[in-house]
Amino acid sequence: MTPEQIRLVRDTFPTLQNMGTAMPQLFYGRLFQLDPSTRALFHSDIRVQATKFSQMLTALVNGLDELASFDTALRQMGQRHAGYNVKLAHYDLVRDALLWAIGQALGPEWNRDVKAAWSALLEHVNSVMQAGQREVAND
């Protein structure tokens, strides 16, 4: 990520934080709309999952200057997701649903540059998680 992309993610993140778990719930709703079969991948209460999601997103944003320091944890998360029957193709769905939810949450703050910044973060997360998943599973 470029310094400008990091700044844009950080500048827009407080709006998402102020929503609590509402933005993650928008994300999950959109994900299940895009592919209803993904609902079966979640066995816990979606509100609990939304809280975990918010915590991970906060950690990532807080650590943007050293994003690579999350790579081990992200790779391990990808390995765990293989055991949850997540397919590599699901990562694109997750990215699309999350970008949609962030856009909905940000409203007028959402523009081409902000979308590119969030996309860069999500592409990094997805690529590292997918690498971890590939270490333990063949899709």
What is the model's pLDDT at position 15? Answer: 95
Q: Are the CB atoms for 94 and 119 separated by under 8 Å?
A: no
pLDDT score of 138 = 57
pLDDT band at 47 (very low <50, low <70, confident <90, very high): confident
Average pLDDT over residues 31-41: 93
Mean pLDDT, residues 2-26 taken together: 94
Query: Which residues touch 56 (CB under 8 Å, ≥6 apart)?
Result: none
User: What are phi and psi for residue 111, nearest 5 degrees?
Assistant: -145, 180
Domains of the chain: 3-136 (1.10.490.10)
Q: Are 125 and 74 in contact (CB under 8 A)?
A: yes
pTM for this structure?
Answer: 0.90
Distances (CA, A) of 66 to 1, 3, 15, 99: 10, 12, 22, 22
Contacts made by residues 93-97, CB under 8 angstroms, sequence distance 24+: 93/31, 93/34, 93/35, 93/38, 94/31, 94/126, 95/119, 95/122, 95/123, 95/126, 96/34, 97/27, 97/28, 97/30, 97/31, 97/34
Q: How far apart are CA 134 and CA 10, in angstroms?
A: 31
Band of residue 20 on the pLDDT scale cut at 50, 70, 90: confident
- What is the residue-averaged pLDDT of the chain? 92
For 57-70, the pLDDT digits (tens) are 999 999 999 989 99
pLDDT tens, position by position, 128-137: 999 999 998 6
